[in-house]
């Protein structure tokens, strides 16, 4: 994350010790961390971890022991767009992004991110 956030704009980083366990499931509930949910997102390799706020989550593949992994760096254009557009609600912005990607893939666009509209 340090390599992605060279200007130290990420104010808080939350890890496994910031979660709570609900039976056998581990949940990352953004409402429990005292931050504005509209300005917070979860990037995780386990979708169930952000089940409480699914719109605020970005699912990535597991990266353990994969020295060729680029999942986080691949997110840079999207994350920059969210910052540059000064979105009011990260969950709504991510939902719009997902809807656009799905729509473009459905019509046969191979590289949907290159064809996304701004705002």
Name the packing angle between helices 76-84 and 90-106 (round to 10°).
130
Q: Which tops the pLDDT comparison, 35 or 93?
A: 93
Contact yes or no for 92/98 (Cβ under 8 A): no
In a domain, 11, yes or no: no
Q: Which tops the pLDDT comparison, 116 or 108?
A: 108
Q: Would you say residue 117 has pLDDT above 50?
A: no
Give the Cα separation of 53 and 109 in Å (integer): 28
Mean pLDDT for the chain overall: 83
Those residues whose C-beta lies under 8 Å from the C-beta of residue 100, and which sit 6 or more positions away, are 112, 116, 117
In a domain, 56, yes or no: yes
pLDDT (mean) for 40-52: 89
Which tens digits make up the pLDDT trace of 50-85?
A: 889 999 999 988 878 888 888 888 888 888 889 889
Q: Which tops the pLDDT comparison, 1 or 36?
A: 36
Phi, psi of 101 (to 5 degrees): -60, -45
Q: Would you say residue 26 has pLDDT above 60?
A: yes
Domains contained in the chain, number: 1
User: What is the domain-level CATH number for residue 108?
Assistant: 3.40.50.1000
Q: Give percent of the chain above pLDDT 70.
A: 92
In a domain, 84, yes or no: yes
In a domain, 10, yes or no: no
């Amino acid at each position: 994350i340090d390599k992605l956030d060279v200007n130290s704009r990420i104010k808080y980083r939350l890890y496994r010790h910031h979660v709570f366990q609900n039976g056998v499931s581990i949940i990352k509930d953004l409402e429990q961390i005292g931050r504005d949910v509209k300005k917070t997102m979860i990037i995780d390799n386990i979708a169930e971890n952000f089940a409480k706020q699914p719109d605020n989550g970005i699912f990535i593949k597991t990266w353990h022991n994969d020295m060729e992994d680029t999942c986080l760096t691949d997110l840079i254009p999207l994350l920059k767009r969210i910052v540059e557009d000064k979105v009011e609600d990260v969950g709504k912005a991510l939902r719009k992004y997902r809807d656009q990607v799905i729509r473009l893939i459905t019509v046969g666009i191979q590289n949907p991110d290159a064809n996304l509209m701004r705002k």
